């Protein structure tokens, strides 16, 4: 039985990636910003782990298994989702970026701040970033402003 599983595992993965498109971000449920954490749990199940956000204790970071090849790191702030980062085991960066721009753009459009790395939605309420790592994220500008204000309040003025 073990030999059969070892022999078929690569074919199952190939079928999942190429036919079922498991690796594509658009094939998982993407969570809206400002969603209550209970709704996130109803979509992804209980978090794998939860911990306070370093240097911003008002927020809690939850890590969820969003699919067979994806993790969602969701930051809960003021009872709602303020930030989401999707990690993909086999990312397709261009396709993932298009998916995220469409989902979180809400037909408003984006201003590109740093080409290929940082966009701000034209209404100024959402920022989207990606990196060389297989991660792509979005957050409300309100969340980032509050987090930065908290971090700045602790910094002595010179």
For residues 10-18, average pLDDT:
51
Tokens of 124: 């100024």
Tell me how many domains the chain contains.
Answer: 1
Residue 13 has pLDDT above 60, yes or no: no
Confidence of residue 67 (pLDDT cuts 50, 70, 90): confident
Quick check: helix, strand or coil at residue 125? Answer: coil
16, part of any domain: yes
84, part of any domain: yes
120, part of any domain: yes
| Among the listed residues 57, 65, 56, the one whose alpha carbon sits nearest the alpha carbon of residue 22 | 65
Residue span of the structural domain in which 86 resides: 2-153
Tell me the pLDDT of the chain averaged across its residues: 84
121, part of any domain: yes
Give rounded-to-5 percent helix, strand, coil for the chain.
35, 35, 30
118, part of any domain: yes
Residue 129 has pLDDT above 50, yes or no: yes
104, part of any domain: yes
158, part of any domain: no
């Amino acid at each position: 039985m073990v030999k059969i599983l070892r022999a078929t595992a690569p074919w199952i993965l190939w079928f999942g990636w190429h036919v079922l498109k498991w690796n594509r971000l658009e094939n998982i449920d993407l969570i809206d910003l400002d969603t209550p954490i209970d709704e996130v749990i109803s979509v992804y199940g209980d978090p794998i782990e939860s911990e306070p956000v370093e240097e911003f204790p008002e927020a809690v970071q939850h890590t969820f298994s969003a699919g067979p090849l994806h993790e969602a790191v969701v930051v809960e702030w003021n009872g709602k989702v303020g930030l989401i980062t999707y990690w993909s085991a086999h990312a397709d960066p261009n396709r993932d970026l298009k998916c995220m721009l469409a989902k979180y753009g809400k037909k408003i459009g984006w201003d590109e701040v740093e080409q290929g790395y940082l966009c701000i939605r034209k209404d100024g309420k959402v920022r989207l970033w990606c990196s060389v790592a297989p991660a792509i994220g979005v957050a409300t500008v309100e969340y980032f402003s509050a987090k930065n204000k908290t971090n700045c309040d602790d910094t002595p003025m010179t």
